[in-house]
Amino acid sequence: MDPRRDRPVQFAAIRTDQDFNVIGRPIELFSQISPDYLPAAEACLVTGITPQIAQQRGLPEAEFMRKVNAAMSEPGTCTIGYNSIRFDDEVTRHSLYRNLIEPYGREWQNGNSRWDIIDLVRTCHALRPEGIEWPKNEQGNVSFKLELLTVANDLAHENAHDAVSDVYATIAMAKLIKEKQPKLFDFLYQNRSKQRVESMLVDAMTDAKGPQPVMHISGRISPVQGCGAWVVPVFRDPKQKTKFLTINLTMDLEPLLELSAEQFAERLYAKRELLEQQGLKPLPIKWIQSNKCPVVAPAKTLRPEDAERIGIDRDECLVQLKLLQQHSAAIIEKIELWHHIESQREMPPQDADTALYDGFIGDADKKVMEHIHTLEPTQLSGIHNAFNDARLNTLLFRYKARNYPHTLDYDEQQKWMAFCKQRVTESGQGWQTLTEFEQRIEKLGQVHADNSRNMRILKQCVDYVRATYG
């Protein structure tokens, strides 16, 4: 799934107090999909939501996202999910942007914030596991899948992957950790603020004795070592000041010492499997973004007994730290040169739908966006090129066509039909094409041939696509 390109069709939320007691009725919304987008058959199988259900029960995406944004924007709201920072929030941002709604305000305005329970769970397992049952997967590693955690801890989760059921399960898991490990919970909740994270990272980076380690938990770190590591911040992006580059002390520092700045990129972006085949070591570096609620804590929070349990050799980390401090000036100089080279690299032009991060939206354009959402659909037909930002002018036409196609004149209808055809037939653009859809259906049909429920869902996907595209 691609948060920039794929479309949400269901949203669920439940408002609670700070102790996770439910104080509001569940919110459940569905969204229609527009003809420039092909349904993801795999997602339909997981959720049971077919394109027909989305079209029958759903709102136009613009109205759907207005309601989602309103719920999340209520003053004092902390929006919490399970794996939400890296996925759900990205889907939300891009869906708001695609529908000409300011994409970031609900995250910070009016005392609002966001947080992610999955990193709370990972941290609880790595640092303070007592009181929680930890299920394991087939590889023998702890699994952080919500449906397995709820079963292991006897928490209600009647219909995994149903949005409302998943929300109740997330609430139950968060409440359990708050009850069993209240100090850990409070520490991480308070440190969802980027200012507090940045303070810890800057202090570690500028210590008079040389750069110092912090404890970091992340899904990007191997589950074999509890998704945790001592990392040392050594570089802050001069333009994107929320990005800090850290050195992972649980990995070999040798590549940092031996490789040139020019070789960094090649090693950094190579797949781990390919490096292993070639007998090469990966770069021991990791970016931390302070505005993504990362788990950063003092190094001492990793107790010796927990380090042994999750497989981190503290003594070896201290040896690596000494080596890093001895060569820190040379390593940092190399990193700065590598980053400069990377920043000069020209990026391919983005389609307007995926160009959210190409630049912030200006204040004047934000006012136009607000105005557009006060208009009746019939009032949209006369609005063209209303923005200073070219991305938004492109999105304005698509906004009208996707949500209110009856407002298009004949020429606009022809333009929209041509765009939809191009979107579902041109390969190599990142969007699913008709050919790719058919190939997926064929493969999934072979896998699920004996499952009548899944075959029925696949047939409905095919029926929708045939009815839409002929």
**What is the domain-level CATH number for residue 274?**
3.30.1520.20
Q: Mean pLDDT per 10-residue run, the chain (470 residues)? A: 93 96 94 97 95 97 98 97 95 98 96 97 97 92 93 82 88 97 96 95 94 96 93 95 96 89 78 81 92 96 95 95 94 89 80 95 97 94 92 97 95 96 92 96 96 97 94
Burial per residue of 98-133, b for 16 or more beta-carbon CB atoms within 10 angstroms, e otherwise: bbbbbbeebbeeeebbbbbbbbbbbbbbbbbbeebe
- 143 and 178 share one domain: yes
Predicted confidence at residue 446, as pLDDT, reads: 95
**Beta partners for 272?**
none
Are 217 and 324 contained in the same domain? Answer: yes
Domain end, chosen from 343, 372, 391, is at 343
148 & 211 share domain: no
What is residue 161's predicted lDDT score, i.e. its pLDDT?
Answer: 65
**CB contact at 8 A, 196 and 139:** no
Does 72 fall in a domain? no
How many domains would you assign to the chain? Answer: 2
- Tell me if 279 is assigned to some domain: yes
Question: Is residue 210 domain-shared with residue 323, that is, in the same domain?
Answer: yes
Looking at residue 274, its pLDDT comes to: 82
Q: Do residues 173 and 269 both lie within one domain?
A: no
Res 428: pLDDT:
84
User: Is residue 277 situated within a structural domain?
Assistant: yes
According to the model, what pLDDT value does residue 160 have? Answer: 66
295, 310, 343 — which closes off a domain?
343
Residues 202 and 337 in one domain: yes
Which of residues 158, 188, 218 is at a domain's end? Answer: 188
175 and 316 co-located in one domain: no
On whether both 184 and 250 belong to a single domain, the answer is no
Asked if residue 75 belongs to a domain, the reply is no
> Is residue 184 one of the residues assigned to a domain?
yes
Q: Read off the amino acid at residue 311.
A: G
Whole-prediction pTM: 0.93
Shared domain for 236 and 286, answered yes or no, is: yes
Tokens of 327: 């060569």
Note the pLDDT of residue 278.
84
6 labelled as ligand-binding?
A: no
Mark whether 121 and 237 lie in a shared domain: no
Which residues fall within 8 angstroms of residue 382, CB to CB, at 6 or more apart? none
- If asked whether residues 248 and 169 sit together in one domain, one would say no
- Residue 136 domain flag: yes
Q: What is the CATH number of the domain that holds 148?
A: 3.30.420.10
Residue 165 lies in domain? 116-188
